[in-house]
Amino acid sequence: MLYLIPTPIGNLKDITLRALELLKEVDVILAEDTRTTSHLLNHYQISKPLTPYHQHNEHKIVDHLVQQLAAGKKMALVTDAGTPGISDPAFLLVRACVRNEIKVESLPGPTAFVPALVNSGLPTNRFSFEGFLPLKKGRHTLLEKLKTEERTMVFYESPMRLLRTLRDFIQYFGGERPCSVSRELTKMFEETQRGTLQEVADYFSKKTVKGEIVIVVGGYEKS
């Protein structure tokens, strides 16, 4: 059995009772960063073996993990924050488990884009989750395609690339397109800035930005 267990995106209290129970029950915990996961486990006095599982080693160890699961081991997969598989490692192992008829269970829990989307003030009935934009190859093509996307769009971004991305959005979508930028969600310095793309870019150009970022952009409106 493989359990996909969401972990807090900031506030350590944002974890379910079931998630804590399973973290205590499994044989091993697969962690994107063992140091980050150790901090969470220590907070809840959970002691379990940790195995690194991240984008740099997942191709190498996925077959070995499937063999262990097939032999009867119970594993939990966690990432640094949020739900495994949402812009984080999980897909390769889940696909391998499905192909080998190993049961996979995904728990509900924290995901950064959901609170950012619902508090943006933009339509939530239809939206497109785009995750992180390509840094180079494919970036221009994707932005061209998204120019006429009518659904609300949700992006993840790092603080060091926030301004570049907002300026790219202004270039492709227009400076008057409504948007919302949320950072440090669930933490002490949580902030959401709303306005047009130009207004929000101007705001963040005057300050040092820290924390993980979620950008929500209004969809294209036909004239």
pLDDT in tens, 120-156: 999 999 999 999 999 989 999 999 999 999 999 999 9
The domain covering 113-217 belongs, at the CATH homologous superfamily level, to: Tetrapyrrole methylase, C-terminal domain (3.30.950.10)
- Residue corresponding to tokens 């984008």: 55
| Amino acid 209: pLDDT | 92
Prediction pTM value: 0.93
Return the sign of the alpha-carbon dihedral for residues 10, 18, 36, 68.
negative
Which range, of 75-79, 87-91, 99-103, 150-154, averages the lowest pLDDT? 87-91
Quick one: pLDDT at residue 159? Answer: 95
User: What does CATH list as the number for 2-106?
Assistant: 3.40.1010.10
Separation of alpha carbons 190 and 116, rounded Å: 11
Cβ atoms 53, 32 nearer than 8 A: yes
CA-closest candidate to residue 220, choices 177, 171, 187, 185: 177
Domain ranges of the chain: 2-106, 113-217
Tell me the average pLDDT across 30-34: 96
pLDDT at 9: 95
In the predicted model, is pLDDT for residue 113 greater than 90?
yes
For 202-211, the pLDDT digits (tens) are: 999 999 999 9
